[in-house]
Amino acid sequence: MLLLYQQHNEWHGTPYRMGGISRSGIDCSAFVQVTFRDLFGIDLPRSTDQQFRTGRKITRAELRSGDLVFFRNGRHVGIYLEGHKFLHASTTRGVMISSLKNTYWSRHFWQAVSVKR
């Protein structure tokens, strides 16, 4: 999990850019793809819907650090940290940490997937 916080520190503030794959701008699925490749040596597909199909569906209660969290029918993805927090590339604020307890994210939570276990 420490690696995920380090990844946040390195990428924090990088703006969101649809289709972006670099520090000048990155979208949510590219950020997940880059993070899993760089930190865990896991090659995930590029798109959110393909990433969803890669892992094993889990319940919200089963979430562990490194699991993927999906929102609004698979259109947004982040990486679960701990304590209801997740790391993602937000469309409005770029790479950041958010809380699943936040009203918006709680209401739009869709599914969780484990790809590391």
Sketch out the chain's domains with CATH numbers. Answer: 2-114 (3.90.1720.10)
Of 8, 12, 76, 84, the catalytic one is 76
Find the mean pLDDT for residues 9-33: 98
Of 8, 12, 28, 84, the catalytic one is 28
Residue 1 predicted with pLDDT over 90: no
Q: How far apart are CA 31 and CA 11, in angstroms?
A: 9
How does residue 45 score in pLDDT terms, banded at 50, 70 and 90?
very high
pTM here is 0.96
28 flagged as catalytic: yes
84 flagged as catalytic: no
CB 4 within 8 A of CB 87: yes
pLDDT tens, 63-74? 999 999 999 866
pLDDT tens, 61-106? 999 999 999 998 668 999 999 999 999 999 999 999 999 999 999 9
pLDDT tens, 23-40? 999 999 999 999 999 999
